[in-house]
Amino acid sequence: MNIRPRLRAIADLVPHSQNIADIGTDHGYLPLYLLQWGRIPNAIAADVSAGSLKKASALIEQNNMSHVIETRLGNGLSVLSAGEVDTIVIAGMGGVLISEILQQGEKVARSASTLILQPMIGQEELRRWLIQNQYRIQDEDLVKESNRIYEIIVAVPDEEVKEYENEIYYEIGLSWITKKHPLLREWLEKKIRGLKDLIKGLEKGQIDVVAARLREAQEKLRQYEEVDSCHIK
Ligand SMILES: C[S@@+](CC[C@H](N)C(=O)[O-])C[C@H]1O[C@@H](n2cnc3c(N)ncnc32)[C@H](O)[C@@H]1O
C-alpha cells in the first residue's frame, strides 16, 4: 500500500519494532503501511468515530492484517492501558485537541517512550503544552504535500525539560534549525509573507487596538527574520 507524503513522513519517524497505537486512525492507513513494510510487529488502530473505525476494519481485513492490527473504538487514550504500547501516534488533529487527549490520558501518555504528533493547527500551543507538562521535543520534521507544509513533532517524557528562553521556538521548530531542514526556508518565507500581509492590513487601520496588534506582528516579523537570516544560511 502506498500512502501520501504526510503519513509517510510520520511513518518514517516511528521507531522500528515497537508496539504502536494510532489514535484517530480514520482509514487505518498508517498502521497498515507500517505492518506491510515490516516496521512494527503489531498495532492498535483507534478512533472515536464508529464510522471511521468501520472503514479501518474493512481495509485491515481486506489486507489480511486483522491478526496483527487490533481496532478499538473510544475517545483518545482511554482505549489503552498504561504501558501497553511504546509509541503513540496522534495525527491530523488540532494541536489543542492533541494536548487535551494527552492530558486526559496522562498515565498512558507518560508510559509510552515516544509520542509522534502531527498537529494541523495550534502547533505553538502544543509545543508549549508539551514542554510545560514535562515532555521534551526530541525531533521535528516538515513535510510538503499538495502545496501545504505540515509539521510533525516527536516528544518524549522528560522531567528535566526546560522552557525555551526564546519564545519564538514554540512556533519555529528548533530541530528544523539544528538539522538545517530543507523545507525550513520555504516554511519561514510563507510565515514572513503572511506576517507582512497582516502588518500591511493593520497599518491601514487607525484605532489603538490595531496599533497594539501591529506592534505585536512587527515584533514577531523581526523574530522570524532574525531566525531566517541567522540560522539557515
Ligand atoms: C482528519 S482525521 C486524521 C486521520 C489520520 N490520523 C491522519 O493523520 O491522516 C482525524 C481522525 O481523528 C478522529 N478523532 C477526533 N477526535 C478524536 C478523539 N478524541 N479520540 C480518537 N479519535 C479522534 C476522527 O474521528 C478522525 O477519524
Whole-number Å distance, alpha carbon 25 to ligand 1 midpoint, is: 6
Q: What would the pLDDT profile of 14-49 be if each residue is shown by its tens digit? A: 998 789 999 999 999 999 999 999 999 999 999 999
Is 143 within 8 Å of 195 (Cβ atoms)?
Answer: no
Our CA dihedral for 123, 125, 126, 131, rounded to 10 degrees, sits at 130
Q: What would the pLDDT profile of 195-212 be if each residue is shown by its tens digit? A: 998 888 777 776 667 778
Cα separation, 107 vs 103, whole angstroms: 9
CATH of domain 5-163: 3.40.50.150
Cα separation, 117 vs 137, whole angstroms: 10
What pLDDT is attached to residue 165?
Answer: 93
Is 142 within 8 Å of 183 (Cβ atoms)?
Answer: yes
pLDDT mean over 187-202: 90
Residue whose CA is closest, atom 12 of ligand 1? Answer: 24
What pLDDT is attached to residue 232?
Answer: 64
Whole-number Å distance, alpha carbon 121 to ligand 1 midpoint, is: 14
Residue 28 Cβ contacting ligand 1 at under 6 Å: no
pLDDT band at 176 (very low <50, low <70, confident <90, very high): very high
232 versus 155: the higher-pLDDT residue is 155
Task: Judge whether residue 12 has pLDDT over 70.
Answer: yes
Is 105 within 8 Å of 77 (Cβ atoms)?
Answer: yes
Task: Judge whether residue 124 has pLDDT over 90.
Answer: yes
179 versus 198: the higher-pLDDT residue is 179
Residue 52 Cβ contacting ligand 1 at under 6 Å: yes
Task: Judge whether residue 78 has pLDDT over 80.
Answer: yes
What pLDDT is attached to residue 200?
Answer: 82
Whole-number Å distance, alpha carbon 67 to ligand 1 midpoint, is: 23
Which 3 state secondary structure label does DSSP give 220? Answer: helix
Burial class (CB in 10 A: 0-12, 13-18, 19+), 158: middle
Residue 221 Cβ contacting ligand 1 at under 6 Å: no
Residue 92 Cβ contacting ligand 1 at under 6 Å: yes
Going by C-alpha positions, the residue among 214, 191, 194, 193 that lies closest to residue 203 is 214
Task: Judge whether residue 149 has pLDDT over 90.
Answer: yes
Q: What would the pLDDT profile of 106-120 be if each residue is shown by its tens digit? A: 999 999 999 999 999
Residue whose CA is closest, atom 7 of ligand 1? Answer: 92
Residue 88 Cβ contacting ligand 1 at under 6 Å: no
Query: For a pLDDT cut of 90, what percent of the chain falls above it?
Result: 81
Going by C-alpha positions, the residue among 86, 83, 151, 144 that lies closest to residue 117 is 151
What pLDDT is attached to residue 231?
Answer: 66
Residue 100 Cβ contacting ligand 1 at under 6 Å: no
Residue 26 Cβ contacting ligand 1 at under 6 Å: yes
Whole-number Å distance, alpha carbon 52 to ligand 1 midpoint, is: 8
What pLDDT is attached to residue 216?
Answer: 87
pLDDT band at 10 (very low <50, low <70, confident <90, very high): very high
User: Domain residues of the chain, as ranges?
Assistant: 5-163, 184-231
What pLDDT is attached to residue 201?
Answer: 78
Task: Judge whether residue 233 has pLDDT over 60.
Answer: no
Whole-number Å distance, alpha carbon 75 to ligand 1 midpoint, is: 10
